[in-house]
């Protein structure tokens, strides 16, 4: 794979927020919050040198541009396609509509101090790029066909892994099934199609703090991304990689076992009528 062009990657990364319906809000941070995060500056540039490669000692340098902002967004996209077949999903959504809350129905996905980060090797070649935030929290929804990355959820209360197919092998690249890590990915017993995973609760309920581990990255070689703790690196494989930490558990009893989908708009776009496109709420 050729060295990624930063401008092209930035354009591709914008797909995470591309939407036919978008509700977004930027909230200014007060002086005390700014002092804790960016020292009264709107942007902060940090650099860290260390071995971040899983393929050899490349003396990787990480450079991160952090924006001192709180972002709240409820965004929908009919289709998300990254890397051809790395990540393919329909009905992508950040946030949801609470059908029981007429006073404040829009429940946004929130980001605190979002950042752009890139990794370079000893020859100063860019080998990876990612977007994330120091804290992320909210409901992520999509109808997945193919997924590359990591979904940190549980299946039957056991740590989950991605699989190439039912009865297939574990993978983090272009997976189509998810099941218990210790299982054989038997559909309807310890594994289900990723198409059944309609929603994922990133960082848990609103009472909990956000997570620093939700990110989307692209790399032309396997790269370990870290949030400052070398013992907590996340290995990202070549290509696009979406890392989703979540508290979601799915008890698999049949091939139809699934996580629920929630309202993402006030109008049912397929018919043009109705107030909600689904009645469920978290």
The pLDDT tens digits for 69-101 are 999 999 999 999 999 999 999 999 999 998 888
Q: How many CB atoms lie within 10 A of CB 46?
A: 12
DSSP 241: E
Average pLDDT in the 168-179 region? Answer: 97
Alpha carbons 50 and 59: distance in angstroms, whole number: 5
User: What's the distance, CA 225 to chain centroid?
Assistant: 14
Q: Which residues are within 8 A (CB) of 228 and not within 5 positions of it... i.e. 6 or more apart?
A: 48
> Is residue 236 within 8 Å of residue 218, measured between CB atoms?
no
Burial of 253 from C-beta contacts in 10 A (0-12 / 13-18 / 19+): exposed
Which DSSP string corresponds to 138-165? EEEEEEEEEB-EEEEEEETTEEEEEESS
* Length, in residues, of the chain: 282
Structure tokens at 70: 């709180």
Structure tokens at 40: 């009264």
Closest CA to 179 of 168, 170, 190: 190
Strand partners, 89: 80, 144
To 5 degrees, how large is the angle CA 254–CA 260–CA 266?
150
Q: What is the pLDDT of residues 256-268, one digit of tens each?
A: 999 999 988 876 5
The helix or strand, by DSSP H or E, that contains position 186, with its residue range, turns out to be none
Phi first, then psi: what are they for 100, rounded to 5°?
A: -100, -5
More confident residue, 242 or 281: 242
Alpha carbons 106 and 96: distance in angstroms, whole number: 6
Using only C-alpha atoms, the chain has a radius of gyration, in whole angstroms, of 19
Q: What is the pLDDT of residues 109-165, one digit of tens each?
A: 999 999 999 999 888 899 999 999 999 999 999 999 999 999 999 999 999 999 999
């Amino acid at each position: 794979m050729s060295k990624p062009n930063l401008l092209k990657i930035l354009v591709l990364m914008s797909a995470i927020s591309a939407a036919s319906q978008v509700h977004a809000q930027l909230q200014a941070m007060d002086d005390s919050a700014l002092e804790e995060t960016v020292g009264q500056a709107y942007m902060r540039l940090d650099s860290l040198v260390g071995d971040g490669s899983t393929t050899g000692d490349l003396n990787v340098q990480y450079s991160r541009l952090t924006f001192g902002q709180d972002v709240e967004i409820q965004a929908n996209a009919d289709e998300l396609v990254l890397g051809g077949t790395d990540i393919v999903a329909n009905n992508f959504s950040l946030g949801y509509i609470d059908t029981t809350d007429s006073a404040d129905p829009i429940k946004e996905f929130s980001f605190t101090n979002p950042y752009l980060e890139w990794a370079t090797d000893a020859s100063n070649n860019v080998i990876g790029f990612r977007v994330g935030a120091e804290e992320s929290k909210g409901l992520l929804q999509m109808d997945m066909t193919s997924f590359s990355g990591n979904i940190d959820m549980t299946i039957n209360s056991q740590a989950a892994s991605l699989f190439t197919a039912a009865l297939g092998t574990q993978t983090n690249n272009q997976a189509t099934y998810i099941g218990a890590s210790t299982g054989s990915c038997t559909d309807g017993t310890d594994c289900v199609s990723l198409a059944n995973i309609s929603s994922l609760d990133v960082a848990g309920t609103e009472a909990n703090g956000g997570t620093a581990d939700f990110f989307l990255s692209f790399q032309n070689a396997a790269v370990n991304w870290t949030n400052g703790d070398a013992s907590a690196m996340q290995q990202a494989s070549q290509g696009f990689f979406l890392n989703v930490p979540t508290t979601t558990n799915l008890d698999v009893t049949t091939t139809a076992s699934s996580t629920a989908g929630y309202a993402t708009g006030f109008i049912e776009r397929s018919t043009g009528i109705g107030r909600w496109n689904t009645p469920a709420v978290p």
